[in-house]
Chains A and B, each alone.
Chain A
């Protein structure tokens, strides 16, 4: 088993792909936390804890859910909105939950407005601008999510979570696989359950993610 751990950065300008460091993807029914395979239940708890600890916990929905391609996409969008509303209700004063879209993958540099969107080619701009210290990607095509996750790990100290509909992401600090409406709702339930039991790290993360 690899000794490498996928931890919040900044790692360095070009962090290695976690897969090249021996990190493996979880099997169905599992997840990974920092590159170590864990049960899904443990991952729900850890993801909820990270969200509740963060100063600016943020959800980044991607094109697969932002656009109503089909009924399933629309249902996932509804679940994501529910997750965000739950998170907003559960954070304490001083914390700020955000929901920032990744509408497409066009490399819109330098026109990107980091206040209202995130782009996979320079996600660090949105992280830095909003001082985001914990984020979750959902509905982003895998290759673009990998690109974003690596850039974020390379240049920021943001904790990354991937709610992946395929096999998961080694480059996230915590990754679910086979994402579904039920899994998104279960994460929302876990956040609700842990409300008030997690101390936000407002003192230690005064400036959010560092550059």
Chain B
């Protein structure tokens, strides 16, 4: 699919529900500078979601969908978890995999897309929870990285199994007591960002989703590096406010508290040398393009 194909047949346009008409008219498909600032002024690629009120995951979803550089040619792969409640409301191609299989599915998908559309840029982005990424699907996650599969893996880390009632996960912090883990976690949070780096990921970031501009930057970087160089990994803290005993309005503060320099979600970034070079080139091109556009605009107004 490409932007040109997202068109409604003229003779049936009037019967299409308004959200589809809006998607065609006001969404940011094909816009080069799309980003979180489009939220509120253009049609978002997410309709009403079915997550809990105030869920940080819903913020993360909105920022990510607003930041994908190429949504009309992106396929997202989801897994079982709260994210799978949102994907039906998302206007980006997506596949629901079996629990934990997401990186295996994405590997095959990326290869198939390269064969089927050799001349086109097709991005694949995995988006799964910590249970799917680190516990049940760790084998598939790591093997995809070892094989240098060219797609982005995003882990929504809420540090437990949220929608099944709060069981312990590998990414839960040590000592944490959850509703269905009354003894408390006995060992440390799995250090997946470090494991990702050692497994061959070229761009790794560990952060929260409290700052939309930061989320936008890391998503764009991760997708571009995965497209050109190799696997990338983002671990985003999206706390489950219900399972950690917070109220709807406290999710943002929870993330801010957890990203302080000594906390477990202090911003951490690893960029391989080839990725650094690529990002520098992209930044230079971007700067050049923006300068040219500015010049053109000033000429037009003069």
Contacts and interface: CB of A to CB of B under 8 A. Distances in A.
A119 B157 CA distance: 32
B281 interface: no
B88 A107 contact: yes
Given A103-B17, A108-B89, A77 B47 contact: no
A61 B88 contact: no
Query: Could you say which of B5, B15, B17, B89 has the most chain A C-beta atoms within 10 Å of its C-beta?
Result: B15
Contact of A66 (B8, B50, B89): B8
B17 A68 contact: no
Contact of A101 (B7, B12, B88): B12
Contacts of A77: 9-12
B interface residue count range (under 10 / 10 to 19 / 20 to 34 / 35 or more): 10 to 19
A73 B9 contact: yes
Given A108-B89, A111-B47, A101 B17 contact: yes
B36 to A, nearest CB: 24
Query: Could you say which of B7, B12, B20 has the most chain A C-beta atoms within 10 Å of its C-beta?
Result: B12
B10 A74 contact: yes
A89 B74 CA distance: 44
Interface string A67-91: 1110001100110110000000000
Given A101-B16, A103-B20, A111 B89 contact: yes
A81 to B, nearest CB: 4
B12 A80 contact: yes
Contacts of B15: 61, 99-101, 116
Nearest to B20: A103
Contacts of A80: 11-12
A106 interface: yes
Interface in B1-59: 5-12, 15-17, 20, 47-48, 50
A116 B17 CA distance: 6
A65 interface: yes
Contacts of A46: none
B17 A67 contact: no
A113 B15 CA distance: 13
Interface string B87-115: 01100000000000000000000000000
B5 A81 contact: no
Contact of B9 (A66, A111, A116): A66
Q: What 5 pairs across the A-B complex have the smallest Cβ distances?
A: A77-B9, A81-B11, A77-B11, A68-B7, A106-B88
Given A66-B16, A77-B12, 15 more contacts: A61-B12, A61-B15, A65-B9, A66-B8, A68-B7, A68-B8, A69-B5, A73-B9, A74-B11, A78-B9, A101-B17, A106-B89, A111-B47, A111-B50, A116-B17
5 contacts: A66-B8, A66-B9, A67-B8, A101-B12, A111-B48
Interface of A: 61, 65-69, 73-74, 77-78, 80-81, 99-101, 103, 106-108, 111, 113, 116-117
